[in-house]
Amino acid sequence: MDLPPRGNPPFLSAMDTYSKPLSKPTPKRRLSLRQQDARIAWLLLLPSLVVMLGVNLWPIASTFILSFFNAPTGINQTRTFVGLSNYLTMLQDQVFWQTIGRTLYFTVVSVSLELVIGLAVAQLIHSHPWGWKFLRFSLIIPWAVPTIVNGAMWRWIYSADFGALNGILMQLGLIKHYVAWLSLPNMAMNLVILADVWHMMPFVALILQAALATLPVELDEAAAVDGANAFQRFWQIRIPLLRPAILVALIARTVDAFRVFDIAYIITSGGPAFRTVTITYLTYLNTFSYGKQGIGAALSFLISVFTIAMALIYIRFLYRPEETQ
């Protein structure tokens, strides 16, 4: 092996800070460890990097390029370069904007409901009512049920012919005839949202409940001594302290909700009359049903841009100093 260069390469400063006070290892030993480190680092990273290059980086780059082509689906179809035409077609299409609107509606309504109910349930568990451990335990079940099973279950519940929703409303005397709920244009999306809230509210509740449990009790007690009532303690002490956890839940859910596909596909198949087609669904239709891969690629690239933008917000909060300290 070649003699390693003298001096401390800057990127090893972290290692040096904790190795210095411990002992005085000979320079040769430390440098050879560094060499060993660099080689081992590549060795350990290599398999993951190769996989991610193959299934993440190359496909996303390839999709981006494809978005500039007119690419009909099919083996013998030729692709022609069309520049920004796919993006322009899309941006001028009313269907695109309606779909964006629907997707935002789904995202805002379902995430808000999950946050509000999740926070309430977290606070309820935190108050330790009788059976709170059972409640916490129960929350895991809806979250663990696979999305497709969840969707199928709600589809059966909403069913026009033998659904539980119709059954219960009829027995309560609220409806006189069975209603085809999923065919009502203004109901379908809300019913998909309800199914999503059942599935993902527990995720928010569990995260927030865990965060509540780590808050210092002293603050709460001190506020109580000072005469703050339960509501004031909740809004003015716990909520501000929970902000980091709320942000985490909020951002994780928003990114997920914006790309929703499975649950709409299974409950409504996009109907009635496109009322539950989300942006990912529209991408799926263009790519695999309409045979317009170029448009599909442009759409999916826009979804990526949005989610990456969310990721940047994510990173910004991630590298912020802890607010709870």
Partner 1 sequence: MLSRKFLRNLFLFLLTIPVLLFIFAPILWLISASLSTQVELLTVPPHWIPQHPTLQNYLDIIFPSLAASSVPRTFVTAIANSFKIATAVTLICLVIGGAAAYTLVRIPFKFNHSIQVGILGMRMIPEVSLIIPLFVVASGLELINKPIVLIVAYLSFALPYAIWMMAAFFQTVPVELEEAARLDGCTRLGILWRVVMPISIPGMISTAMFVFLVAWDEFFYALIFTSTLAAKTIPVAIAEFVGRYVVNTTGMMAGGIIAALPPVILGLIFQRYIVSGMTAGAVKG
Segment 235-264, which members bind partner 1 (CB under 8 A)?
245, 248-249, 252, 255, 259, 261-262
Rule CB under 8 A: say whether 304 interacts with partner 1.
yes
Rule CB under 8 A: say whether 224 interacts with partner 1.
no
Selected from 181, 202, 270, 277, the binder of partner 1 by CB under 8 A is 202
Selected from 99, 254, 276, 280, the binder of partner 1 by CB under 8 A is 280
Rule CB under 8 A: say whether 1 interacts with partner 1.
no
Selected from 131, 185, 216, 240, the binder of partner 1 by CB under 8 A is 131
Q: Tell me the site size for partner 1, rule CB under 8 A.
A: 103
- Interface of this chain with partner 1, residues 40 to 59, rule: CB under 8 A: 40-41, 44-45, 47-49, 51-52, 54-59
Q: Smallest distance, Å, CB 50 to partner 1?
A: 9
The residue type found at 195 is A
Rule CB under 8 A: say whether 228 interacts with partner 1.
no
Residue with tokens 């956890």: 245
Within 13 Å of residue 42, how many CA atoms lie on the same side as its CB? 5
Q: Smallest distance, Å, CB 183 to partner 1?
A: 14
- Interface of this chain with partner 1, residues 135 to 174, rule: CB under 8 A: 135, 137-149, 151-157, 161-162, 164, 167, 170-171
